[in-house]
Amino acid sequence: MLSGEHLPADQAELVWHDPAVEYLGALTEAERLDVLAEVETLFKKPWGKHPLSNRNARDQLASLNTLTVLGGQHRVVFRAATVTVDGAQTGVIDILCAGERKGDVIYDVANALVRSGILDADDVTQCWDVLALLDILPEQIGADGWDFQPEPASEGQIKQAVAAGTLDEGTARVLSQRELLAAADGAWTAPSPPDKAAALDAALHAARSGVHFDSANGIILGRREPRCGSWMPRAHAPCIRRNGHPGAHRSTP
């Protein structure tokens, strides 16, 4: 993308190709956070440092952009584009590869990847999965790790939880099956009646094990808000984050 161009609503499906994931894995924790924070800026400035162009007839660098990271010593090569699916526009950012800023080595790698057809492959890693793989919390790079709505439990499971007094119906309907099961265990850690606050606490810890949250009720209220629903071409699923969310679309909890 050229300087000044924007993705729809400054949102996109952000995916990482294997060479870029391997690059992150070789960095220190501090370096990873620095690189990921820089990548987050691409939602609002999807042109990065500058667009690339073909250096010769064999090159296939046109349509790619570069981003400098780690004090300008490393480069990230990516493609940001707007695609149309069933008449609706969606942004997609592909992070291809990254490496030290030594001559044109990283551009040669990017060229080889494009020629291999990697940009047309579905074998990519969603940004949220990259964070989980590297044991990084979304909040560490300025993202909201609670802003999603999972696939709900079955109608029977919801009614069962409400009938047992574990949760109110509105809350039960925005929890996943796994979360409902955790809520049932949490509600009965003490003699009856069931502890609804403990049930909700257990449910959300099942959603993101070991992660602190300030307000369980606030998270549930957020889940009741309208969803983004933008179609994610690589994940083949709609976005489950809140309508109007910043940055990356999300397809799974």
In a domain, 207, yes or no: yes
- Tens of pLDDT along 178-216? 999 999 999 987 667 889 999 999 999 999 988 989 899
Residues 137 and 211 in one domain: no
Residues 120 and 170 in one domain: no
Show the domain range for 219. Answer: 155-226
| pTM of the complete model | 0.92
In a domain, 48, yes or no: yes
DSSP code per residue over 50-90: EE---SSTT---TT-EEEEETTTTEEEEEEEEEEEETTEEE
Residue 127: which CATH number?
Answer: 3.30.2310.20
In a domain, 201, yes or no: yes
Question: Which pLDDT score is estimated for 188?
Answer: 83
Residues 132 and 22 in one domain: yes
**Other Cβ atoms closer than 10 A to 163:** 9
Residues 56 and 159 in one domain: no
Total domains present in the chain: 2
Residues 118 and 170 in one domain: no
Residues 113 and 200 in one domain: no
Last residue of a domain, one of 141, 171, 192: 141
Please state, in angstroms and rounded to a whole number, the distance separating the CA atoms of residues 219 and 36.
25
Residues 164 and 137 in one domain: no
First to last CA, the chain: 30
Residues 96 and 194 in one domain: no
Q: At what angle do helices 177-187 and 196-207 cross, to 10 degrees?
A: 140
Question: Which pLDDT score is estimated for 16?
Answer: 97
Residue 206 host element (H or E): helix 196-207
- Tens of pLDDT along 102-123? 888 999 999 999 999 888 878 8
Last residue of a domain, one of 141, 175, 195: 141
In a domain, 239, yes or no: no
Nearest to 78 by CA among 162, 158, 20: 20
Please state, in angstroms and rounded to a whole number, the distance separating the CA atoms of residues 223 and 40.
23
What are the residue ranges in the chain where pLDDT is below 50? none
Question: Which pLDDT score is estimated for 63?
Answer: 92
In a domain, 147, yes or no: no
Last residue of a domain, one of 90, 106, 141: 141
Mean of all residue pLDDT scores within the chain: 93
Residues 38 and 135 in one domain: yes
In a domain, 74, yes or no: yes
Question: Which pLDDT score is estimated for 30?
Answer: 97
Residues 84 and 44 in one domain: yes
